[in-house]
Amino acid sequence: MTVLTRRKLLKGAAAAGVAGIGLSALGKVAGWAAAPEPLVLKTTSIEARLMDAGPTRNVLTYGEAGPPPMIRMRKGEAFAARLINGIDDPTTIHWHGIRVPNKMDGVPFLVVTV
């Protein structure tokens, strides 16, 4: 964890003032940054055409229609998400490709659901 010292704060303030840039740049120079705005994921049940036979009802997705969003990030980049349960059943999110604490990785019957 980076410690914010008086020297780093003054150095960052000087850099921000000279360059005319905002608080986010000050944070980067000082070694800290504000938490990112969370990506809001709302579960919903839609009707989708998954096969040629016709539409399938009660397909779980995030958002108004279509497949769930693909989220791409750079290594070390901060990320926040907020799950809103828009269906009648308990739900979780299971993250693929990233390491998260078990309590935040939706594995049914192993973690608390929302």
pLDDT in tens, the chain (114 residues): 466 677 766 666 666 554 444 545 545 555 556 678 898 888 888 888 888 888 888 888 887 767 777 888 888 888 888 889 988 888 878 777 777 777 777 766 665 555
CA angle (10, 18, 22) in 5-degree steps: 75
CA 66, chain centre distance (Å): 19
